[in-house]
Amino acid sequence: MNKKVYDAILNGKSDNNIKYTDFQNIIVDLGFDFQHQDGSHRFYAHKIYPAIMNIQPDGNKAKGYQVRQLKNLIKKYDLKG
C-alpha cells in the first residue's frame, strides 16, 4: 500500500489532489473488490464490510467527495492495508 496516499486521504488536506490511479489502488489495498463498470463509474464492494465505493475520475484526479467518503469508511471500519 502507498502509505503516502493513505496518509493524505486520512489527513484530509489533499482531497482534491489524489491521483485517480492511486485512489483505485488504495481502494483495492483496503479490501475492496471491483464489481463492475458503468460508463466512467467503477463500483467496488468490500470483502467483509457492507461498504460500496462508486468512483469516477475528474480528469486524472479522484473526486474530492469520493476521497472523503473513503476516509469515512476507513475510520468507521478501521480499514488498513
pLDDT at 38: 97
Pick left, alpha or beta for residue 12 (phi over 0 → left; psi -120 to 50 → alpha; otherwise beta): left
pLDDT in tens, 14-71: 899 999 999 999 999 999 999 999 999 999 999 999 999 999 999 999 999 999 999 9
Nearest partner of 76 among 42, 43, 53, judged by Cα: 53
pTM of the model: 0.94
- pLDDT at res. 51: 96
pLDDT value of residue 30: 97
Q: Does domain 3-77 have CATH number 3.30.920?
A: yes
